[in-house]
Structure 1
Amino acid sequence: MSLLIAPLALGAGVAWLEARHRLRPASPLWLMARDWKVSSSADVLRVAGVLEISNPHPRMEVFVPELRVEPTLLGRADLSSLTVTTRIQADHPDEEPRADGYWAAYIVKGLKTTRARVTIEIRGGAALELVDTLWVDVQWMNYGPFGRLSRRQGVPVAVRGPRPLRADQAQWQSGDGCTVLPVKTHLLGPLDDPIEVLRRYAAPLLQPGDVLTIGETPLAVIQGRYQHPSEVEPGMLARLACRVFHPTSSLATACGMQTLIDVVGPTRVIAAWIGGLLMKLVSIPGGFYRLAGDQARLIDDITGTTPPYDQTIVLGPERSASFCAEASEALGVDVAIVDVNDLGRVKVLASSSGCDEPLLQRALKPNPAGNANQRTPLVLVRSGRG
């Protein structure tokens, strides 16, 4: 009888842990930025777009009592002389908009959607030319059966971007039996289509046999796979498990670890932690990351990527293999998603069929894209020395 008690107790504990994790308070609402456009005149830069709030739950009704936007300007120099004004107008399907712009508390019913129209005007004369990105920080409240939850989501709007390179302007770098070309883009985000980004900035440079790579983090932010740490509520497991990781690891903070738990579940994290410890005892390093899954290695905690995403936690991309196949078909060259760092580590997360991955290992080992704020998420690799 005693032999049955331990497995039953373990099973009950695992079931309780998973149930507690899955039934924790959460709002079903989703916020998406859509149809953002930039226009300019001699002394005014105008950015306008829509924030769409959807409720996929069939029955739950959720209040949105507060919604505000805090814009942040990013650019190449001091922007303090510029003035910014923001206006939010509710665009509910069943209410007339208020002329004064006040956001009145609104109920988003099950399977319904509402919208907010945002207009941001930037004034300041010649200094407007220094602005390249507007970071739209949306702070909104969800109120319902789950309690009162603060939500926060940032969206970058590209104001200006680099002109796509022409083939005669490209400055290729020599590598090990290959040449590489880091390709600049604007600051990427959820308003972008990833294949259109590749087409816009790289298509004029492509030749048959080339391999076009995109970093895993830039693709992830295009897919919207990032969140502000204020949206993460670390539990006891996250606070305990994070303490055993090296301080430079993205899992060494409670929010970073909780992000992984939210993706793979607490049971897998506990199993990976125990399994990783046992593997370490027999001199097998990296056991936790192998057992916890790819996202354990791909999560970037704050400071882990380029501003303004340095204030967010970024997951790894999803649907990587299908993206590479679609992009390769659209562009006519091989495409790969890569994770590269300054230590010479190159990981090919996914690639199109027939891609020369040993070539990528040689070409990307020096990390030609850089790990700072170069904004070169694309690297074009060409076999031979050009």
Structure 2
Amino acid sequence: MPTVVSPRPVASPSRTHYAPSGAAKKNGAAHSIARPTCIPIQTHTLGAHDSIVEAAVRYVAPHLQPGDVLVVSEKALGCTQGRAIPVANISARPLARLLSRFVTKTPAGIGLGIPETMEMALRECGAVRILLAAAVGALGKLLGRRGWFYRVAGRRASSIDGPCSYTLPPYNTCVSLAPLDPDGAARELSDALGNIGIAIVDINDLGGEVLGSYRLPISDRELMDTLRSNPLGQESQRTPFGIVRQPLEATLSPSTIEA
């Protein structure tokens, strides 16, 4: 069992409040509104042999302050759950090979556009659901509507990432699946780190979403606004954790805390 850690006390901590972007005018002069920062936390390369909770206690706990919120990469959580499957270990059925040919590839990544990722979608969601999603998606294309396939297939299908050259090895040759029970994982992390707010996030350079959370003191939209620059990165940074901190509480630079 990991050690339960209480955040380090600081003088007069302020309540977590996320101000909107922009500037405020006071006494006729423009003043920039202070915004929360996200401090990336570097770790070793996490894998199926690691516990996400133990990693957080080791790398994150020493830097926590009251009011902090911890964001966790969904891909890192999935990797610790054994949800990164080497492409070489995936045998795609003929249906997966057929369906993958009709997937539109985008700058966001491979998606289900190769037989191996489509095969994992069939395993995760079931062949019936994927076939129904394919039919609805085809109808959507005829009507000029996009995204219908994933609306039917669901989050487990949309969260599948294929291998790509810029991903941290050995995951550059893996198919990454959505983490299991992100809300439960967030709860375990919060309990181990002194009941702080936790969010499991799927972030890339094009946007993101909160997959699971616990004790989160702000809305998903406010959190995504803070993370819009993708501070955790998506290449070889090894920064699966980020501490979201208010400016008045910040005693750490927003630059990466190295392992």
Which whole-Å CA distance do the structure 2 matches of 1:233 and 1:197 have between them?
A: 32
Quick check: 1:359–1:383 contact (8 Å CA) kept in 2?
no
TM-score, normalised by the number of residues in structure 2: 0.77
Which whole-Å CA distance do the structure 1 matches of 2:235 and 2:116 have between them?
A: 23
Report the counterpart of residue 348 of structure 1 in structure 2.
210
Report the counterpart of residue 79 of structure 1 in structure 2.
none
Partner of residue 313 from structure 1, selected from 175, 185, 202: 175
**CA deviation digits over 1:145-171, x for unaligned, max 9?**
xxxxxxxxxxxxxxxxxxxxx99xxxx
Aligned to 2:101, the other structure's residue is in SS state helix
Quick check: 2:137–2:149 contact (8 Å CA) kept in 1?
yes
Which whole-Å CA distance do the structure 1 matches of 2:197 and 2:235 have between them?
A: 26
Equivalent residue letter for 2:83: R
Given the alignment of the two structures, is residue 238 of structure 1 paired with residue 96 of structure 2, yes or no? yes
The gaps in structure 2 that reach 5 residues or longer are 1-7, 10-19, 22-34, 251-259
Which whole-Å CA distance do the structure 1 matches of 2:217 and 2:204 have between them?
A: 21
TM-score, normalised by the number of residues in structure 1: 0.52
**CA deviation digits over 1:334-386, x for unaligned, max 9?**
1111011112x021101103441233111110011112101111111013464
Quick check: 2:201–2:211 contact (8 Å CA) kept in 1?
yes
Given the alignment of the two structures, is residue 371 of structure 1 paired with residue 229 of structure 2, yes or no? no
Quick check: 2:199–2:216 contact (8 Å CA) kept in 1?
no
Q: Tell me how far 1:232 sits from its aligned partner.
A: 1.6
**Aligned CA distance change for structure 1 residues 364 and 295 (closer, same or farther; 3 Å):** same
Aligned length: 213
**CA deviation digits over 1:5-27, x for unaligned, max 9?**
xxxxxxxxxxxxxxxxxxxxxxx
Identity %: 37
Quick check: 2:163–2:173 contact (8 Å CA) kept in 1?
yes
Query: Cα RMSD (Å) of the superposition?
Result: 2.1
**CA deviation digits over 1:54-100, x for unaligned, max 9?**
xxxxxxxxxxxxxxxxxxxxxxxxxxxxxxxxxxxxxxxxxxxxxxx
Report the counterpart of residue 214 of structure 1 in structure 2.
72
Aligned to 1:328, the other structure's residue is in SS state helix
Which whole-Å CA distance do the structure 2 matches of 1:226 and 1:365 have between them?
A: 25
**CA deviation digits over 1:307-336, x for unaligned, max 9?**
111111111100111111121122121111
Partner of residue 338 from structure 1, selected from 201, 207, 214: 201
The gaps in structure 1 that reach 5 residues or longer are 1-165, 168-174
- Structure 1 residue runs of 4 or more that deviate by more than 4 Å after TM superposition: none
Tell which has more relative contact order, 1 or 2 (C-alpha 8 A, sep 6+).
Answer: 2
> Which of the pair has more CA radius of gyration?
1
**CA deviation digits over 1:219-264, x for unaligned, max 9?**
1010011222222221221111111212343210011101110111
Which whole-Å CA distance do the structure 2 matches of 1:199 and 1:313 have between them?
A: 28
Aligned to 1:244, the other structure's residue is in SS state coil
**Aligned CA distance change for structure 1 residues 354 and 216 (closer, same or farther; 3 Å):** closer
Which whole-Å CA distance do the structure 2 matches of 1:233 and 1:366 have between them?
A: 37
Which whole-Å CA distance do the structure 1 matches of 2:149 and 2:184 have between them?
A: 27
Which whole-Å CA distance do the structure 2 matches of 1:355 and 1:275 have between them?
A: 38
Given the alignment of the two structures, is residue 302 of structure 1 paired with residue 163 of structure 2, yes or no? yes
Which whole-Å CA distance do the structure 2 matches of 1:227 and 1:312 have between them?
A: 5
Which whole-Å CA distance do the structure 1 matches of 2:88 and 2:236 have between them?
A: 24
Structure with the bigger percentage of strand? 1
Aligned to 1:351, the other structure's residue is in SS state strand
Equivalent residue letter for 1:379: G
Which whole-Å CA distance do the structure 2 matches of 1:347 and 1:299 have between them?
A: 14
Which whole-Å CA distance do the structure 2 matches of 1:380 and 1:309 have between them?
A: 24
Aligned to 2:60, the other structure's residue is in SS state helix
Quick check: 2:196–2:215 contact (8 Å CA) kept in 1?
no
Following superposition of structure 1 onto structure 2, how do residues 1-386 of structure 1 map, counting pairs within 5 Å?
177-247=35-105, 248-303=109-164, 305-331=167-193, 332-343=195-206, 345-356=207-218, 357-384=220-247, 386=250
